Amino acid sequence: MTPGQTIKTFTTKKGNTVVIRYPKWEDLDDVLAFANNLVEEEALLALSKKQTRAEEAKWMADTFEKIETGKKIKLVAVVNGKYAGNCEIRIHDNRESHVGDIGIALSKDYRDEGIGAELLTTLIAQGKNAGLKLLILYCYENNDRALHLYEKLGFTRSGLVPGTFAYKGSYIGDVTLYLPLK
């Protein structure tokens, strides 16, 4: 991976220009703002606590180390020049080194215009190129948009663990989905 390298550029149905690229160190402040906006929004994600710049820098250092050692694949979406989201595959090890868990999030301003679909499709292709055979996703059971997108891209629901996430005063179940790569 070459940091910052562009993988794909396209225009959305709303006319926004999207670049899908690899992450780079210079993203740090944009990622920090992006992540903390998701926390503030109470997006349907595991992350619930705002990050400091130092915590985010540590996270990024860990990410780059994992990318370099083949433990992670990460892509960034930039919309009209603005950092707008990212996605990643966290690759397992030992007997599960052919398996990866997916995470994806876009900022509120750029949802529902097909960017998530492009980003995830590109990520899946990269996982396949890396030799992965199985992708797994975990998703809040009430995240209808995400579940719709995942099933549209071929993921199958394999189960629900009830009450996993404490969210706005109630407990929300965690849906597992999987996609075999052929």
Ligand X SMILES: CC(C)(COP(=O)(O)OP(=O)(O)OC[C@H]1O[C@@H](n2cnc3c(N)ncnc32)[C@H](O)[C@@H]1OP(=O)(O)O)[C@@H](O)C(=O)NCCC(=O)NCCS
Residues 17-46, interacting with ligand X (CB under 6 A): 43-45
The region of 58-66, 128-136, 144-152, 166-174 touching ligand X under the rule CB under 6 A is 144-152
From the list 50, 111, 154, 173, which residue makes contact with ligand X (rule: CB under 6 A)? 111
Q: Where are the alpha helices (DSSP H) in 69-166?
A: 115-129, 144-152
| Strands, E assignment, the chain | 6-11, 17-21, 72-79, 82-91, 99-106, 134-140, 156-167, 170-180
Of the candidates 77, 32, 40, the residue with the CA atom closest to the CA atom of residue 58: 32
Contact 73, 86 (CB under 8 A): no
Q: Tokens at residue 38, please? A: 């998701």
84 lies in the site for ligand X, by CB under 6 A: no
Residue 51 or 143 having the CB closest to ligand X:
143
Judged by CB under 6 A, the number of residues near ligand X is 21
State the nearest-atom distance from the C-beta of 145 to ligand X, in Å. Answer: 4
Measure the CA–CA gap between 76 and 52, rounded to whole angstroms. 20
Residue 36 or 97 having the CB closest to ligand X:
36
State the nearest-atom distance from the C-beta of 138 to ligand X, in Å. Answer: 7
Residues that bind ligand X (CB under 6 A): 43-45, 104-106, 111-117, 139, 143-146, 148-149, 152
